[in-house]
Amino acid sequence: MDFYVRYFDDKMKLAEDNPTIGIILCADKNDTKAKYSVLVDKENLFASKYKLYLPTEEELKQELDRERDLIERHQLLEGEGNE
């Protein structure tokens, strides 16, 4: 993730922009992970500069699980309609 954050900082980020934050979201059938990634030299990140509220890793994980369940239910219903 550091590679992408550094690349974005180098090629896209403007001088007045806040430090770049990477968010890693991974989901499969049995596991969901959510992690924030910031560069080591960016010690002070203030959520209020980005949004009023940044979700926790656990909240991101729960949202991924909820979305996956919705997609799976939708696919199941579509499959039943094609029979």
45-54 pLDDT, tens digit per residue, is 555 555 566 7
For residue 3, the model assigns a pLDDT of 84
* Encoded tokens for 64: 């991924």
Stretch 74-78: mean pLDDT, rounded?
88
47, 53 Cβ separation under 8 angstroms:
yes
- Mean pLDDT (the chain, rounded): 77
Nearest-angstrom CA–CA distance, 19 and 27: 26
Question: Could you tell me the pTM of the whole model?
Answer: 0.52
3-state SS, one letter per residue, for 40-62: CCCCCCCHHHHCCCCCCHHHHHH
CB atoms < 10 A from the CB of 61, how many?
A: 19
Is the torsion defined by CA of 6, 21, 43, 9 positive or negative?
positive
